[in-house]
Structure 1
């Protein structure tokens, strides 16, 4: 290229051809060094964060219909929205009033007696005094989308139809109800909207706070040592029950690895009158085990803005890496 051509390239801010080749080689070298440094830092980080076994998975529980009976499974997939086993997904169905507001066992305690089972591509609802009702696991697209309200936040759900609406209305006998189903293409409630003080980015369908809740059997045993009438895991509705650790050791766990799943601590689970609903009778007590928990499981004063006067029992987690897990898997904390 002549001097005029070189001058024109210079005016445009472009290097001359010889320099282009040199710069390309240099850029590749810089990129390689940079990528190598990033890989080295990540490897070093992984080496620093060793795994320490803190327990073993004793139970896995999915609660397909919010406030209704849980389904114990031996293994499950862990999606960003929580546990899944076949067509059963955690808190993907919700009873609502006709105005869209959620209904839970806090308002209708007899919901805890409703069970849901998967039979092939169908879901079967059962409740005391009611004939079983069959639902398709996938609703027709012609079913309307309902705008729902959970704890002050908006979320959608596909209406499950008039037959199941009448079924719940007849069972609860207080007002008109409908059932909706969350679909994975719908927009979930964001963790930061539910809990403005947290930093984790995740979404949920109809759970209270997060995709997963972990509780140890030792913590329940400690509580029961203080109760006249013993509570069960059904009072507290965890997704993952851990055995082989001390009472309330789960309070100290941050990041966990179970099976191929990685999860991150969100916050402790603040308990409410839902825990006082008897899972066997559907009668709400409004006292125990909540009052006993309040006597020794209140938060540190520095965290009162988050938990207020609610006692803490169990830990909420978000899903950092999807995968699968099963009963008997070791539970590791990253340290």
Structure 2
């Protein structure tokens, strides 16, 4: 299985025999890339064909029935060459749809994000060094989460990380220095995020006083999620998730994708433009049409495969100006309602489960697929959309370059897939 080092992190694959797509430089002239270590492949079971080689044994022969079944059974990590070959045949059905332009990590929920050039793709979200996505959370005295929906000025808190210290900064306030590893003697709180219980270790009195002093409304505390603490299971909120899916303090999913074209289309309809940070995506895609995300069921970025769960309905947090911390309560939601709310949509919101399914909502959505890990995939548009696009582009579109596929699995202590810019 080839490493993806040195290759652009385009989304999709190239059909056998077609010419490779030229790499386009990303921001600052750098090319988005993705890597995954052999150890990660071994731990995740996505490269079962490595096992005979490590044991000094010849690769097993592939029965005819296995060739037909391998694609559907790849998630079970069969440990044979058949999965790899079946996946290769599937590449002809995959195509380039865009390029990774930005990667964002939001260490403290609702605070400013940190733009990174590389990040590990784990089952709990992106990770860059000590920074983990939404691993810190502000809570009130009752243990309920506090976000920019309730305290818009949270978006004014910025973060940096040097060594083992996380620094929280805000205007006219002395910086708060936090150790990345919260002392184990600190209390563990039972918190609630969208109605589901999750644990967090208290970051101490200094952090509590700093957050409380900055917001000036009521007493707050800051907690930190640790991998051994109790997570949340989004399947308890929405059936679209798997029972084994876990998250820490993210609303519903560890990954959120948004394209530059979708934002540009929205801004063309707004009097006052909004920024990408209004929508807080994890992965920003360039090189695709506006709202192309509607049709992406699975995304392959180099060696990492992410599976679409649902479209993300947009809430009032998008109306908070990330530069001033002021909530308008109107735009961009008003415009989104006029152009992006489908007839009688069923959008499953965090904490919105009811007996018999999710509740209906008229909240608009801006093509932000919520993603989870997948053991088999690529970029697979819906059949109807694919046929329409093929009709328009027949004879003129070259397929993208092919890379090895690797599923995203829970943390194992080894390196999962790495997204690089």
- TM-score (normalizing by structure 2): 0.67
Question: What is aligned with 2:270?
Answer: 227
Long gaps (5+) in structure 2: 1-59, 71-82, 348-357, 375-406, 409-416
Question: Which of 119, 128, 137 is residue 180 of structure 2 equivalent to?
Answer: 137
Task: Please list, as runs of the form range in 1=range in 2, the aligned pairs for 1:24-43 lying within 5 A after superposition.
Answer: 37-38=65-66, 41-42=69-70, 43=83
Where is the helix percentage greater, Structure 1 or Structure 2? 1
Paired residues for 1:235-254 under 5 Å: 235-254=278-297
Q: What's 1:309 paired with?
A: 362
| Aligned match of 1:60 | 103
- The unaligned stretches of length 5 or more in structure 1 are 1-31, 328-335
Which residue is 1:115 aligned to?
A: 158
Q: 1:195 Cα deviation (Å)?
A: 1.4
Q: Secondary structure at the match of 1:52?
A: coil
Aligned residues: 296
**Aligned partners of 2:277, 2:360: CA distance in 1, in Å?**
22
Shift of 1:53: 1.0
CA offsets per residue over residues 67-89 of structure 1, 9 Å max, x none? 00000001110000000000000
Q: TM-score, normalised by structure 1?
A: 0.84
Larger Rg: 1
- State the distance in 1 between where 2:186 and 2:67 align: 49
C-alpha contact 2:105 2:133 (8 A) present in aligned 1: yes
Q: Residue 294 of structure 2 aligns to a residue in which SS? A: helix
Residue 170 and residue 75 in structure 1: after superposition, are their counterparts in 2 closer, same or farther (change >3 A)?
same
Change (3 A) 1:102 1:249: same
Q: CA deviation at 1:214?
A: 0.2
- 2: distance between equivalents of 1:141 and 1:317? 32
Q: Deviations over 1:284-320 (max 9, x none)?
A: 0000011110111113425365551110111110122
- Matched residues in 2 for 1:198 and 1:77: separation? 22
Which structure exhibits the higher relative contact order, with contacts defined as CA atoms closer than 8 Å and separated by 6 or more residues? 2
Query: What is the SS of the residue equivalent to 1:295?
Result: helix
Shift of 1:39: 5.5
Compare the two structures and name the one with the higher strand fraction. Answer: 1
- Contact kept, 8 Å, 2:167 with 2:175, in 1: the verdict is yes
Report what 2:140 is aligned to: 97
Q: Tell whether the 8 Å contact from 1:200 to 1:266 is kept in structure 2 after alignment.
A: no
1:150–1:242 CA distance, 2 compared to 1 (3 A): same
Contact 1:82–1:319, Cα closer than 8 Å, also in 2? no
